[in-house]
């Protein structure tokens, strides 16, 4: 066997062993739709809220095993009186046998005007970012 073939064989064998040792998981889970609304029932998609409305993020998933984790991270991007890109809150849900999930963000007073964002993660990987504003 030539030196190049031996090196190639060793490289391929090492790659296979490392791949098996890592035990990575390939999932077919995916987010089919994500949108924002001011209504808890998921109706009335919007990206502009009034200062007195709650924020709801509706996330629809497909092919998600029971242990799939969704996470929403709510951020004040450019809001007066708040540091830029300040994380307001975050929440996680394990999918189970559901396909539609609702994340919400509520406040007891009024939301300050400005631009906001919710980042949606699936199994710790950023999948989507939805930008919205409060006027």
Cα 24 to Cα 83: distance, rounded to the nearest angstrom: 37
Domain 28-134 has CATH 2.60.40.10: yes
pTM: 0.78
Using CA atoms, how far apart are residues 25 and 133, in angstroms rounded to an integer?
Answer: 37
Delimit the domains of the chain by residue range.
28-134
Profile the chain (135 residues) by mean pLDDT over runs of 10 residues.
67 53 62 97 97 97 92 97 97 89 95 98 97 97
């Amino acid at each position: 066997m030539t030196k190049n073939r031996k090196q190639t064989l060793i490289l391929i064998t090492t790659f296979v062993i490392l791949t098996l040792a890592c035990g990575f998981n390939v999932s077919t889970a995916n987010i089919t739709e994500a949108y924002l609304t001011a209504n808890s029932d998921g109706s009335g998609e919007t990206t502009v809220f009034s200062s007195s409305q709650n924020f709801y993020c509706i996330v629809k998933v497909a092919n998600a095993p029971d242990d799939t984790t969704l996470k929403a991270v709510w951020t004040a991007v450019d809001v007066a009186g708040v540091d830029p890109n300040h994380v307001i809150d975050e929440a996680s849900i394990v999918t189970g046998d559901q396909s539609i999930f609702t994340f919400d963000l509520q406040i007891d007073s009024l939301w300050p005007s400005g631009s906001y964002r919710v980042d949606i993660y699936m199994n710790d990987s950023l999948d989507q970012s939805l930008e919205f504003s409060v006027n």
